[in-house]
Amino acid sequence: MIQTVLACSLFMTASAFARQEATPEAPSLHEMMVLAMEDSKPLPEHDRIRSLIGSWQYSMLMTMPGMPAMRATGTSRGSELLGGRFIQFESTSTETPHVSNLHIFGYDGRKGRESYFVLGLDTLGQYYTDPHGTWDADSASLQLVGEEMDAFTGSQQRFRQVYSFLTTNTITCEVFIMKPGTDEEARMLTIVYERQSESADDPGTAAGTTENKRLVDLGVRSHGASKMTIPSHSMSDIESMDRASLQSSILQIMRARTLNDIEPKIRSSLDAQYDAAISRLRSMRRGDTRTSAMRLQPPAPGLPAYSESDVKALDPAQARRALMEIATARRDPKLTPEERERLRILFRDVYDQVQEVRKMRPSDLIDDE
């Protein structure tokens, strides 16, 4: 830390002297800080990404090779960071499980480094992406290129990200994956962001109503459940499915759950089908022979409670079930802070016990999950 501070001080001192050749005395620390902050004020290039500031709703279309197209919706919020030097853009999906991501937009104005960049973080990984690129005036878009490691193959995967500022109220983001060793690319993700009014007196732009040929061409909109078959699996249907059928059904349910215009009763049915199918698939992986009816029974009243000796006595299967029980209880919005903290500690203790058993008897814990 001391070396960093000294290095920064020396750098700022040199910069300050370069600007104050006529000043006979060394500038004070305060003067150096003022000069450094003056030189790092937002540039005209920052005005382009300031369009992200505000409240948004998004519709997303994901297309993966060999898989059916999937849709999702969510909300986003853009705000200034550090005096407008950066723009923070945070999004959360409306479907469960809720996926959140944070993108920090900026412009590197250093000589020889002039380019836009986006630092990307999300709840689907412990890493970041940082594509860099330029502004294309003809299409009013940020054209960014980056690289990340493919989690499945371990190889580096190049990608291109394009933010198109169609209007002040409509922005699209497209992500293209480049095939290894070539410049050939395939669109993987398309997102349409629509600005939401923050004033009760201004209705603004309502999500899903933008009329623009570009958006129609992208195919992001979901135009009604009538164009998609809504799954209606009974519990017995799900119980009789093999692994392949379950996986296919889960995809169908996930696609149907992303539709904006289905009735609450149908959405509730889809949620129940999804939970049952996921539970059934997990039980097949664990070799669990319980029926769906047993697994879908409501939890017993009261919060999970395990003593220290109880935790140490759990076998691997019991420990996994305990973790699920505790995790489910922690999602109760009516929990008091004390109850929430007690469950957090209990979850950690059971998880630590699982890790200890894994070290001693790894063969007992082999699991496809």
* CATH label of the domain that carries residue 55: 2.40.128.20
Q: Is the pTM above the cut of 0.75?
A: no
Whether residue 158 is found in the same domain as residue 89: yes
Residues 232, 359 within the same domain: no
Q: What's the number of domains the chain is made of?
A: 4
Question: What is the Cα 88 distance to its own chain's centre?
Answer: 14
Query: Cα torsion at 282, 149, 177, 98 (round to 10°)?
Result: 40
> Any bridge partners for residue 79, and if so which?
88
Report residue 23 as tokens. 């000043």
Q: Is 202 exposed, middle or buried (0-12, 13-18, 19+ CB in 10 A)?
A: exposed
Q: Output 359 or 142, whichever has higher pLDDT.
A: 142
Do 85 and 197 share a structural domain? yes
SS3 of 254, please?
helix
Question: Do 277 and 151 reside in the same domain of the chain?
Answer: no
On whether both 55 and 204 belong to a single domain, the answer is yes
Whether 64 and 138 map to the same domain: the answer is yes
Which residues form the domain of 348? 301-365
Which pLDDT value is given to residue 118? 96
Q: Considering the chain, what percentage of its residues have pLDDT values greater than 90?
A: 20
- The answer to whether 43 touches 24, Cβ cutoff 8 Å, is no
Shared domain check, 259 and 116: no
Asked if 214 and 259 sit in the same domain, the reply is no
Q: Are residues 158 and 251 in the same domain?
A: no
Q: In whole angstroms, how far apart are CA 153 and each of 62, 149, 150, 180?
A: 20, 8, 6, 12
What average pLDDT does the chain have? 75
User: Do 209 and 231 sit in the same domain of this protein?
Assistant: no
Q: Which residue, 163, 156, 162, 152, is CA-closest to 179?
A: 156
The amino acid occupying position 119 is: L
**Token digits of residue 99:** 């996926």
Looking at the fold, whether 71 and 190 belong to one and the same domain comes out as: yes
| Boundary-marking domain end, from 178, 198, 221 | 221
**pLDDT the model gives residue 296:** 40
Residue 207: closest CA among 76, 105, 308, 312: 76
Q: 167, 190, 221 — which closes off a domain?
A: 221
pLDDT for the residue 91: 95
One domain, residues 193 and 238: no
4-33: pLDDT as tens digits: 443 454 444 444 444 445 455 667 777 777
Q: How far apart are the first and last CA of the chain?
A: 42
Least confident range of 2-11, 53-62, 96-105, 142-151: 2-11
Position with higher pLDDT, 69 vs 326:
326
Query: Using one digit for the tens of pLDDT, what is the confidence trace for 265-306?
Result: 887 888 888 888 877 777 765 554 444 444 444 444 467 888
* Assigned token pair, 272: 């129940």
Query: Does the pLDDT value for residue 361 go beyond 60?
Result: no
- Quick one: DSSP state of residue 241? -
pLDDT tens profile 202-228: 544 444 444 455 555 666 654 443 456
Among the candidates 201, 221, 241, a domain finishes at 221
Phi, psi of 125 (to 5 degrees): -165, 170
pLDDT for res 289: 45
